[in-house]
C-alpha cells in the first residue's frame, strides 16, 4: 500500500511540475553565481576529465596547500564526492573531509520566439556540495 | 739704319717695326677673338649646370641634392640628370626629421588617404601586424606569439579588440514605417523581427539577418546588430551596426527601398508601393555615419571587472555641471543616481554572462585617464559579497538611455576633449600630492558611454556556458585611445582580426557565410593567397593534389556541389543559400540525433546546411577539408584510405618542361650571338612583368586544373560538403570544424541510417570519422 501511495504521489508531483516546452520562449542558461574564488578552490564539472582534476587536487595538496575546497553543482555533485573520496584514499589518513551542502539559485533567461513577447527570467534552484579537504598531518609533503 | 738685335748666326736678321698698326694687328687675330667671345657667351656644353656656378655658390654634393642649388636652376638640373640617365634619387630624410610632430602628422594623413585608420591605429601599428581589409587598416594579430594566450584571455581573463570599423547607420522614423521598410529585406523565419517587443524599448541589443529585397532565402547579406534609442516621440531612432564588408550593400539596399527602385514587383501593387515609397521618403531619414563611434569588444569573464574598475560613474548632477555638453541635455532625463546605483550593484558580478543577455547600459563616466593605474595591473572581482539575484532579474528601464546617440552632444564632446599633453600639464600643475589624482576634477568633462552585454554561449550542450561572453563598449569619437589604454592598464589582452576569426570558430558561429557577397569575396581572397603560396614552393615540395583526388584544394565549389547533388539534370545554379530557418534547424538537429529522414523544405536543391564537426577519435582538421558520405562498414574501419589517383598531367608537365628548357637554351644562344655581333646595340633588360608568362600559366593549369566539372564523385567516397573553418579547438579539446553540406546529401546520409560522417584533409589520403551537429 505504502509503495502505491508513493508512486501516486510521485505521479501527481510530476503532473504539477512537468516542464512543458513552451513554444513562445526558449530557455537560455546563465552562468551560476560563484562562491569565493582562489588558488585552492576547484570547481568540479562534468566535462573536465576526472583524472585531470584529481591530479590537480593531488598536486595542490602535496605542494603544501593546507586545505582545498571542492565545489560541485547539480549533476556534478556525484563526481565531486567521488573525487573527494578518492583523495581521502590516496592521502590515506593524512587528510580529512568536511562536507557542506546547500542550494544555489540559478537564473534562466526566457528568450521570446515571437515578436509580441518581451524577455523573461526564471529562477531555478539546484543543490550544491562544498567539500573542504584538509591535511590533518603533513606526512610526505614536499615543502 | 736698322740695328740688328738677334744673333744672325742663329735666327737670321729680324726687323722689328717702329710702330704697330692696331687695325692690322686686330684683323690678323680676329679668329682667336671670335672664338674667345663665343666661348664666353656660350659656355661649353659639356659642363653641367651646377658646375657652371661661381665658386662662392658651390656646395658639397650639389649634384645629388638639388636643394643645394639655387631654385631657378633646379629644373634645368633635373632635366640634365634625366638626360644623363641617372634617376634623381632622393635620400630618405633622417629619422630625426621624420619624427618631428608636424612632419609625422603630414605623413600619417597621407597614409590614411587610401585606407581608413582607426583611432587606436598607432598604438596597434607598434604592436600588431596590420592588414588592409574592407577599406580599413586593421590589426591582424599581435607580433608576439600570442595565439593561445589570446584564447586563454577570452576564456578565463579578458580579450580586447577594437572593432570601430563597424559602420553605424541611423534610421529615424515612425515604428510601423520602419517595420514595413525592413519587411522586404528580412524574414520572420530567421528569428525576431526588428520591431519585436523585446528590442523596441531599447533595453536590449538585437541582431537580424538581412537579405536582398524580396529575395529570401536567396541573396543573403549578413547579420547586423541594432539598438533602438529610448524616446517618447512617435519618431523613433534606430542604430544599425554593420560589418564593413557589408556596409555598402546594406546602405544601397536601404536607399533603393527608400526611392522605390524595385521594378520587379507586380503591377497591381504599383500604386500601393508608390504610396509607400512616398511615405518612406517623407518620414524616414537614413544617415550613414562611419567612424562616429569607437566600439571596443571585451571578451571573457574578467571583462566585467575591468569595466567596473575603469568606468567610474558620475553620481549626481552637481559633478556634471562642468561638462559643456550638459547644457543642451535635459538633465532630469539622464537618471544619474539610478545608473550609479545599478552599476554599483552589478559591479560585483564575476562574469558578464551572469547579467541579463544583450542588455544596453548607458553610463556617464569620469575621464578614464583619472582612474588609470600607474602600472599594468590585473583587475579582478575580489569582492566577497555575493551579488543579489534580484538585481540580475530586473533591469530598470531608465538605465539604457544615453546622450551619446545625439549627434550634437557627441560633436561637443569630441571638440571639448582635453588632449593628452594638456592633461599631463594640468595634472602635474594641480596635484598637491605627487601620484595622487583628483578624481572629480572639474576641468575634465564627463563622457557618456554605452555598454552592450554579449551573452556568449547559452546552450550547455553545444559550448561551455558563458564562453565568448563579454561587453561591447561604445565610446564617442576622439576618446578611443584614452579608454583603450585604461582597459589595457587594467590587464586586458589585446587581439586583432585573427582573434575575431578564432573566436567565431570556437563559438561555432559562421564567420562570413559563403552565400553572402562578403563571404564569397573572403573565399576568393583566401584562394588567391593559398594558391600564391602553393606555387611559390619548388615543384618537388608541392603537394600533388591530383594524386590525392582533390580537384580544388583552395576553394569550395558550392554551386558545382549543389548541381551534382541535384536530382534534376541540367539545372543552372546561379545562387544558393544557407538555411537559417530556426524551426527547421531545430528539426534537423533532432533528425540527425534520431537518424531520421529530414523534413521536406522548399528549394531544397539550392540549400546548404551549416554543420559543426567534431572529430571522433584521432585526426586533425584543416580548412577546405572534404566532408564525405560513409559507406557500409566505414564507421568501424579506421584504416580507410583513399586509393592513389594517377596523375595524367605528370607526363605532360615533364614534356612541357623539357620543351621549355630547350626553348630557353635556344633563346639564350641567340642572345649571345646577337651580343657578339653588334656590341653597340645592346638591348636593355626589360623590367619583370607582374603577370606570369604563358608557360607558367599552363604549368599551373597542369598542377591545379581550373575547369572543374564535377565534385561529388571524384573520390572513393561521395563528397557532401566542405569545411570552411577548421582547427584544433581549445574549448572542445579536439579538432573541430565549421562546414556546409548540401541538404540532399544530408538527407541521403540519414536515409542510409548514419549520423556520422567521414572527413578528409586536402593534403592527406586518410578518412577520419567525425560527428555532426547543425549550427543553429
Residues B482 and B355 in one domain: yes
Query: For residue B451, what pLDDT is reported?
Result: 92
| Residue among B188, B389, B466 whose CB faces A31 most closely | B466
Residues B201 and B311 in one domain: no
Query: For residue B266, what pLDDT is reported?
Result: 42
Residues of A in contact with B192 (CB under 8 A): 112-115
Indicate whether B611 belongs to any domain: yes
Indicate whether B602 belongs to any domain: yes
CATH of the domain at B240: 3.30.70.1400
Indicate whether A2 belongs to any domain: no
Nearest-CA distance B349 → chain A (Å): 8
Residues B344 and B385 in one domain: yes
Residues B240 and B367 in one domain: no
Indicate whether A92 belongs to any domain: yes
Per residue in A54-86, pLDDT tens? 998 888 888 878 888 999 998 999 999 999 999
Whole-structure pTM value: 0.80
Residues B419 and B376 in one domain: yes
For chain B, the domain total comes to 4
CATH of the domain at A128: 3.30.110.20
Indicate whether A5 belongs to any domain: no
Contact A28 B384 (CB under 8 A): no
Structure-model confidence comparison of residues B197 and A137, the more confident one: B197
Residue A69 three-state SS:
strand
Residue B345 burial (CB count, 10 A): 14
Residues B76 and B54 in one domain: yes
Residues B481 and B415 in one domain: yes
Contact A112 B392 (CB under 8 A): no
Residues B478 and B534 in one domain: no
> What is the C-alpha separation between B184 and B193, in angstroms, rounded?
11
Indicate whether B144 belongs to any domain: no
Instruction: Give the CA dihedral B688, B691, B697, B703, nearest 10 degrees.
Output: 90
Report the complex ipTM: 0.81
Q: Who's near B312: CB < 8 A, 6+ residues apart? A: B365, B366, B370, B371, B439
Confirm if B165 and B138 have CB atoms less than 8 A apart.
yes
Name which of B189, B389, B459, B733 to mutate to probe chain A: the one with the most chain A Cβ atoms within 10 A of its Cβ.
B389
Name which of A30, A71, A122 to mutate to probe chain B: the one with the most chain B Cβ atoms within 10 A of its Cβ.
A30
Residues of A in contact with B193 (CB under 8 A): 115
Query: For residue B524, what pLDDT is reported?
Result: 92
Residues B76 and B172 in one domain: no
Domain, as residue range, for A96: 40-135
C-alpha cell at B693: 608568362
Indicate whether B141 belongs to any domain: no
Which residues in chain A belong to E strands, given as ranges?
A: 25-29, 41-44, 67-73, 95-112, 120-135
Taking the Cβ of residue B351 and every Cβ of chain A, the question of whether any pair is shorter than 8 Å is answered with yes
Residues B489 and B585 in one domain: no
Query: For residue A141, what pLDDT is reported?
Result: 46
Confirm if B421 and B428 have CB atoms less than 8 A apart.
no
DSSP letter at B313 equals: B
Query: For residue B104, what pLDDT is reported?
Result: 82
The sheet carrying A95-112 orders its strands as A25-29, A95-112, A120-135, A67-73, A41-44
> What is the C-alpha separation between B362 and B452, in angstroms, rounded?
9
Indicate whether B664 belongs to any domain: no
Burial class of residue B522, CB neighbours in 10 A (0-12, 13-18, 19+) = buried
Nearest-CA distance B288 → chain A (Å): 27
Contact B384 A36 (CB under 8 A): yes
> What is the C-alpha separation between B21 and A141, in angstroms, rounded?
129
Name which of A23, A74, A115 to mutate to probe chain B: the one with the most chain B Cβ atoms within 10 A of its Cβ.
A115
> What is the C-alpha separation between B244 and B134, in angstroms, rounded?
6
Indicate whether B127 belongs to any domain: no
CATH of the domain at B767: 2.40.30.110
Cell numbers 584562394 correspond to what residue?
Answer: B527
* Boundary residue ending a domain (B84, B108, B135): B84
Confirm if B322 and B361 have CB atoms less than 8 A apart.
no
Closest CA to B352 of B398, B323, B392: B392
* Boundary residue ending a domain (B60, B84, B108): B84
Confirm if B211 and B140 have CB atoms less than 8 A apart.
no
* Boundary residue ending a domain (B84, B115, B140): B84
Maximum distance among all alpha carbons in chain A? 66
User: How many CA atoms lie within 13 Å of B215's alpha carbon, on the beta-carbon side?
Assistant: 16
Residues of B in contact with A113 (CB under 8 A): 192, 582
Indicate whether B118 belongs to any domain: no
Contact B356 A121 (CB under 8 A): yes
> What is the C-alpha separation between B503 and B253, in angstroms, rounded?
30
For chain A, the domain total comes to 1
Cell numbers 593561445 correspond to what residue?
Answer: B148
| Residue among B350, B389, B460 whose CB faces A107 most closely | B389
Query: For residue B267, what pLDDT is reported?
Result: 44
Nearest-CA distance A109 → chain B (Å): 8
Domain, as residue range, for B240: 167-289
Query: For residue B602, what pLDDT is reported?
Result: 81
Taking the Cβ of residue B196 and every Cβ of chain A, the question of whether any pair is shorter than 8 Å is answered with yes
Indicate whether B468 belongs to any domain: yes
Q: Count of residues for chain A? A: 143
pLDDT along chain B (776 residues), means of 10: 57 76 88 88 74 81 81 84 70 83 80 84 90 90 87 91 90 85 84 85 88 85 89 83 90 82 46 55 80 89 89 78 74 78 84 88 87 84 70 80 85 85 84 73 84 88 87 90 91 91 91 89 92 90 88 87 80 82 87 86 85 89 90 81 87 91 93 80 58 84 84 86 92 90 88 88 90 88
Task: For residue B738, list its beta bridge partners.
Answer: B612, B725
Amino acid at each position: 500500500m505504502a509503495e502505491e501511495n508513493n508512486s501516486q504521489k510521485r505521479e501527481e508531483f510530476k503532473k504539477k511540475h512537468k516542464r512543458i516546452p513552451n513554444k513562445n520562449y526558449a530557455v537560455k542558461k546563465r552562468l551560476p553565481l560563484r562562491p569565493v574564488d582562489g588558488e585552492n578552490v576547484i570547481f568540479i564539472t562534468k566535462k573536465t576529465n576526472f583524472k585531470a582534476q584529481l591530479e590537480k587536487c593531488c598536486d595542490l595538496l602535496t605542494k603544501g596547500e593546507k586545505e582545498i575546497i571542492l565545489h560541485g553543482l547539480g549533476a556534478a555533485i556525484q563526481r565531486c564526492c567521488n573525487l573527494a573520496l578518492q583523495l581521502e584514499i590516496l592521502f590515506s589518513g593524512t587528510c580529512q573531509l568536511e562536507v557542506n551542502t546547500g542550494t544555489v539559485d540559478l537564473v534562466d533567461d526566457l528568450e521570446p520566439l515571437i515578436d509580441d513577447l518581451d524577455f523573461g527570467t526564471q529562477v531555478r534552484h539546484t543543490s550544491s556540495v562544498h567539500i573542504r579537504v584538509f591535511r590533518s598531518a603533513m606526512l610526505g609533503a614536499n615543502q | 739704319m736698322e740695328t740688328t738685335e738677334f744673333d744672325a748666326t742663329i735666327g737670321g736678321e729680324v726687323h722689328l717695326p717702329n710702330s704697330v698698326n692696331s687695325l692690322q694687328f686686330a684683323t690678323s687675330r680676329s679668329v682667336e677673338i671670335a672664338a674667345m667671345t663665343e666661348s664666353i657667351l656660350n659656355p661649353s656644353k659639356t659642363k653641367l649646370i651646377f658646375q657652371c656656378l661661381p665658386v662662392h655658390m658651390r656646395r658639397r654634393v650639389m649634384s645629388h641634392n638639388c636643394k643645394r642649388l639655387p631654385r631657378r636652376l633646379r629644373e634645368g638640373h633635373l632635366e640634365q640628370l634625366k638626360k644623363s640617365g641617372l634617376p634623381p634619387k632622393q635620400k630618405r630624410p633622417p629619422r630625426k626629421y621624420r619624427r618631428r610632430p608636424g612632419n609625422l602628422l603630414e605623413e600619417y594623413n597621407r597614409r590614411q588617404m587610401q585606407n581608413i585608420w582607426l583611432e587606436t591605429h598607432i598604438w596597434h601599428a607598434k604592436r600588431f601586424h596590420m592588414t588592409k581589409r574592407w577599406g580599413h587598416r586593421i590589426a591582424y594579430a599581435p607580433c608576439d606569439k600570442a595565439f593561445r594566450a589570446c584564447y586563454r584571455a577570452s576564456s578565463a581573463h579578458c580579450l580586447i579588440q577594437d572593432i570601430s570599423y563597424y559602420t553605424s547607420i541611423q534610421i529615424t522614423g515612425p515604428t510601423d514605417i520602419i517595420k514595413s521598410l525592413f519587411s522586404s529585406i528580412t524574414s520572420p523565419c530567421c528569428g525576431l523581427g526588428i520591431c519585436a517587443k523585446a528590442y523596441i524599448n531599447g533595453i536590449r541589443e538585437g541582431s537580424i539577418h538581412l537579405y536582398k529585397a524580396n529575395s529570401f532565402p536567396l541573396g543573403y547579406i549578413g547579420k547586423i546588430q541594432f539598438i533602438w534609442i529610448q524616446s517618447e516621440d512617435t519618431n523613433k531612432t534606430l542604430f544599425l551596426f554593420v560589418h564593413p564588408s557589408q556596409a555598402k550593400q546594406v546602405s544601397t539596399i536601404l536607399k533603393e527601398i527608400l526611392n522605390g527602385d524595385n521594378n520587379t514587383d507586380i503591377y497591381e501593387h504599383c500604386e500601393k508601393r508608390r504610396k509607400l515609397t512616398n511615405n518612406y521618403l517623407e518620414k524616414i531619414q537614413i544617415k550613414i555615419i562611419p567612424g562616429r563611434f569607437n566600439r571596443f569588444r571585451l571578451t571573457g569573464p574578467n571583462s566585467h571587472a575591468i569595466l567596473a574598475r575603469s568606468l567610474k560613474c558620475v553620481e549626481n548632477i552637481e559633478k556634471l555641471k562642468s561638462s559643456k555638453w550638459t547644457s543642451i541635455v535635459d538633465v532630469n532625463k539622464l537618471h544619474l543616481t539610478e545608473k550609479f546605483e545599478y552599476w554599483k550593484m552589478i559591479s560585483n558580478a564575476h562574469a558578464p554572462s551572469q547579467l541579463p543577455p544583450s542588455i544596453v547600459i548607458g553610463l556617464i563616466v569620469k575621464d578614464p585617464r583619472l582612474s588609470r593605474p600607474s602600472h599594468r595591473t590585473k583587475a579582478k572581482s575580489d569582492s566577497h559579497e555575493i551579488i543579489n539575484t534580484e538585481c540580475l532579474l530586473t533591469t530598470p528601464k531608465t538605465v539604457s538611455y544615453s546622450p551619446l546617440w545625439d549627434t550634437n552632444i557627441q560633436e561637443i564632446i569630441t571638440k571639448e576633449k582635453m588632449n593628452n599633453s594638456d592633461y599631463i600639464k594640468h595634472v602635474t600643475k594641480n596635484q598637491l600630492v605627487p601620484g595622487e589624482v583628483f578624481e572629480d576634477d572639474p576641468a575634465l568633462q564627463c563622457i557618456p558611454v554605452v555598454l552592450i552585454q554579449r551573452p556568449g554561449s547559452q546552450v550547455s550542450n553545444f559550448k561551455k556556458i558563458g564562453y565568448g561572453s563579454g561587453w561591447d563598449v561604445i565610446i564617442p569619437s576622439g576618446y578611443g585611445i584614452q579608454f583603450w589604454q585604461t582597459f589595457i592598464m587594467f590587464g586586458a589582452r589585446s587581439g586583432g582580426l585573427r582573434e575575431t576569426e578564432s573566436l567565431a570558430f570556437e563559438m561555432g558561429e559562421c564567420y562570413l557565410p559563403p552565400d553572402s557577397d562578403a563571404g564569397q569575396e573572403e573565399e576568393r581572397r583566401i584562394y588567391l593567397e593559398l594558391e600564391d603560396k602553393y606555387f611559390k614552393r619548388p615543384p618537388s615540395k608541392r603537394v600533388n593534389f591530383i594524386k590525392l583526388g582533390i580537384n580544388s584544394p583552395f576553394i569550395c565549389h558550392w554551386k558545382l556541389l549543389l548541381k551534382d547533388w541535384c536530382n534534376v539534370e541540367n539545372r543552372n545554379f546561379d545562387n544558393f543559400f544557407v538555411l537559417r530557418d530556426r524551426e527547421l534547424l531545430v528539426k534537423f538537429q533532432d533528425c540527425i540525433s534520431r537518424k531520421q529522414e529530414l523534413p521536406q523544405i522548399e528549394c531544397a536543391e539550392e540549400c546548404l546546411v551549416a554543420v559543426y564537426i567534431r572529430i571522433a577519435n584521432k585526426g586533425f582538421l584543416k580548412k577546405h577539408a572534404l566532408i564525405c558520405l560513409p559507406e557500409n562498414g566505414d564507421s568501424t574501419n579506421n584504416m580507410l584510405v583513399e586509393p592513389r589517383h594517377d596523375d595524367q598531367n605528370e607526363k605532360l608537365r615533364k614534356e612541357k618542361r623539357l620543351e621549355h628548357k630547350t626553348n630557353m637554351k635556344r633563346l639564350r644562344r641567340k642572345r649571345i650571338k646577337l651580343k657578339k655581333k653588334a656590341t653597340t646595340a645592346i638591348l636593355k633588360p626589360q623590367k619583370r612583368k607582374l603577370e606570369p608568362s604563358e608557360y607558367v600559366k599552363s604549368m599551373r593549369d597542369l598542377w591545379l586544373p581550373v575547369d572543374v566539372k564535377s565534385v561529388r564523385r571524384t573520390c572513393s567516397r561521395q563528397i557532401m560538403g566542405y569545411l570552411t573553418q577548421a582547427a584544433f579547438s581549445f574549448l572542445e579539446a579536439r579538432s573541430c570544424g565549421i562546414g556546409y553540406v548540401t541538404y540532399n546529401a544530408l538527407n541521403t546520409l540519414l536515409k542510409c541510417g548514419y549520423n556520422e560522417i567521414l572527413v578528409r584533409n586536402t593534403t592527406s589520403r586518410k578518412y577520419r570519422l567525425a560527428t555532426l551537429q547543425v549550427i543553429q
